[in-house]
Amino acid sequence: MTEKRQAPEDARFAGKTFVFTGALARRSRDEAGAEVLRHGGKVSGSVSKLTDYVVVGADPGSKHDKARSLGVAILHEDDFDKLLSGKLEISREQTESTKGPAKSKKSRRTQKNSDESKGRGPKSQSKKTPQRSMF
């Protein structure tokens, strides 16, 4: 079976990657994905740090959990509908975040350096001295 790719209607979602998880109430995940493609976006089956939005329906499962742990923007179906209609522009701060965004490498490094300067740095490696034989 060969699918024909249609040119996007607009570039509203150009450069954006969406992942759908859980049961959506108003459309199937395939239909929702087709809407994203129609507006120039990409659809993925898995969540990564490169994912821009995870759209969650009922019983979302592990993709929702992974999105939260990576700090990926999470949209509910109502928010996705508003985004589709152009009534909503979403920034990461406006999305669900119960655990907070994942720390970037830079912020983890900054925290590590801060801890070391306060005397809470990593334990120093003790050098083992060879033991003499008792015989």
Average pLDDT per 10 consecutive residues for the chain, totaling 135 residues? 61 93 96 95 96 96 96 96 85 44 42 50 54 58
Domain count, the chain: 1
pLDDT value of position 63: 96
User: Quick one: pLDDT at residue 133?
Assistant: 57
Please give the pLDDT value at position 91: 54
In a domain, 83, yes or no: yes
Q: What range defines the domain where residue 32 resides?
A: 17-96
Q: Domain for residue 32, yes or no?
A: yes
Is residue 108 included in any domain, yes or no?
Answer: no
Residue 44 near residue 16, CB atoms below 8 Å: no
Whether 56 is covered by a domain: the verdict is yes
Check residue 71 and give its pLDDT.
96
Q: Is residue 29 part of a domain?
A: yes
